[in-house]
Structure 1
Amino acid sequence: MRKLLSFVVILFLGGSVYAQDVTYEQVELPSIGTILIPSTMELQKGKYEEFSKKFVEAGTRMLGEEVSENRIVFQPKGINDFTKDGLAMYARIIIETDISGPGDYFKLKDVEDLPESELVEISSFAENEMRDMLYGTNLKIVEWLGVSMVKIKGYTIFKMSYIRQLGQNPLVKVHTYFFQNYDRQHRLTVSYRVKDLELWESSFNKVANSFQITNIRQ
């Protein structure tokens, strides 16, 4: 479980956002599948990606963890070019894949709903693990929203939600979806400022529900 929680340190910058008409583009995710990405967002790359990677690596080393080598990040447009408007925003769509051995995870189709009592136990364990990991750092969990099970593309998925804060920065709401896929696990994390919930929540729900795994492992 500790390995599954290490992504928490990668969600950092903050800012306000602007309203505009949003369309969606279906993006191919190599060796995974496809996802819809809002027209207001771009693939993280270039010098900003290098900067972000150094920040992430420093944070994960502090927790004794490693950054996933299979990581794709989408962010508000303009950040790659270090524009004022782009850097004033905070929202992220992050896809990470942990590759392990055959049978280390359930097959995608074999994940089943759990009784509420088991979900409560899993949620409590995950919360305690995450809080322990972050103890003594400037990243904290402000509100734990729990672990639930949702359906995406007909498959049963674990979803973990919480509100976190880095230092004195604005509160950020985070949802992470765990897709077990036999010899690997895909994590889809969406995050945005709490004060911008009305702007991002509906859009990111659409993003999450569009996540289609075509590389289904057997």
Structure 2
Amino acid sequence: MNFLILRIILFLLVTQISFAQTNIEINAPVTWERVHIKGLGSFDLPSTMEIQKGKYREYMDQIYKIKGFDTERIVAQQVGLNEMESTGFERYARVILETKIGQYGDFVKLDFELPEMSKSELDELNIIFKEQIKNHFVGTGIRLTEWYPLKFQKVNNMSCLQISYIRKLNDSPEVMVNTYYFYNNDRVHELTLSYRINESDFWKSDFDKILKSFKITNVR
């Protein structure tokens, strides 16, 4: 097993988780807002989304504390939800950016290149990521309805792993989820983009732009 695979597996033991190019960098439209994260970087948000705060953030923080989750993360959601407006519940979309910090040299650098991997090694990674997600859903009422093969991506010249799947909560509409893991020497930045599949025409194009706008300036 090569060194990168081993590092990824070690990371998965202590946290949750075809090569394609996405190297296009775009300028945000004037109706978008650039969100700057101190000590990390930035990403752009359309006017249909807002950073989670206010009444809804207070409510969600309480839920996370009860469940033992770390509330120190950046969440963006459909506009109107912060003040619990009725229009804020008509659609569903999330952009979640979390950073987990380890020790210096724990992970590969942000510009790592994809090493040669056998099919069995890729299959092993797929199984590990999939089982982590399924275990995370236990007791939540959420079930995994479709899983897509693990990908290695480049976003704005930053290397990352991508997992994609469809989940469903009870009888609610299915949600498409894409999570990108950016390994940055002593930390891992997890960018998760999700929206209802039946609202893809509304969200997908903007979410592609959000991903392409993401930049990490604190390269370790």
TM-score > 0.5 by shorter chain = yes
1:132 to partner: Cα distance? 3.4
Change in CA separation of 1:215 and 1:69 when aligned onto 2, cut-off 3 Å? farther
The secondary structure found in structure 1 opposite 2:111 is helix
Worse-matched range after superposition: 163-172 or 182-191: 163-172
1:130 to partner: Cα distance? 2.3
Q: Root-mean-square deviation (CA), in Å?
A: 2.1
The secondary structure found in structure 2 opposite 1:108 is coil
Unaligned runs of at least 5 residues, structure 2: 1-11, 18-28
The secondary structure found in structure 1 opposite 2:202 is helix
Q: Which residue of 1 aligns with 2:80?
A: 78
Worse-matched range after superposition: 164-173 or 135-144: 135-144
1:199 to partner: Cα distance? 1.5
1:189 to partner: Cα distance? 0.4
Change in CA separation of 1:136 and 1:34 when aligned onto 2, cut-off 3 Å? closer
1:126 to partner: Cα distance? 1.2
Alignment of 1:98 onto 2:109:
no
Deviations 1:17-64 (A, max 9, x none): xxxx99322221111101111111111012210111223344xx4xxx
Worse-matched range after superposition: 68-77 or 169-178: 68-77
The secondary structure found in structure 1 opposite 2:83 is coil
Unaligned runs of at least 5 residues, structure 1: 7-20
Displaced runs of 4 or more, over 6 A: none
1:146 to partner: Cα distance? 2.6
Partner of residue 187 from structure 2, selected from 184, 188, 191 = 184
Change in CA separation of 1:114 and 1:81 when aligned onto 2, cut-off 3 Å? farther
1:151-190 equivalences in 2 (<5 Å): 151-190=154-193
Partner of residue 28 from structure 1, selected from 27, 33, 36 = 36
Aligned 8 A contact 2:91 2:199 in 1 = no
Deviations 1:140-164 (A, max 9, x none): 1111123111110112210110001
Change in CA separation of 1:134 and 1:88 when aligned onto 2, cut-off 3 Å? same
Aligned 8 A contact 1:25 1:38 in 2 = yes
1:119 to partner: Cα distance? 2.7
Change in CA separation of 1:132 and 1:27 when aligned onto 2, cut-off 3 Å? closer
TM-score where L is the length of structure 1: 0.82
Which gives a bigger RCO, structure 1 or 2 (Cα 8 Å, sep 6+)?
2
Identical columns (%): 37
Q: CA–CA distance in 2 between the matches of 1:120 and 1:195?
A: 30
Alignment of 1:51 onto 2:31:
no
1:111 to partner: Cα distance? 4.6
The secondary structure found in structure 2 opposite 1:52 is helix
Q: CA–CA distance in 2 between the matches of 1:49 and 1:74?
A: 10
Deviations 1:83-133 (A, max 9, x none): 111122200101000011111111112252553623332112211232234
Q: Which residue of 2 aligns with 1:110?
A: 112
Count of residues in Structure 1 that have an aligned counterpart in Structure 2: 197
Q: CA–CA distance in 2 between the matches of 1:143 and 1:97?
A: 26
Alignment of 1:199 onto 2:178:
no
Aligned 8 A contact 2:65 2:71 in 1 = no
Change in CA separation of 1:74 and 1:135 when aligned onto 2, cut-off 3 Å? closer
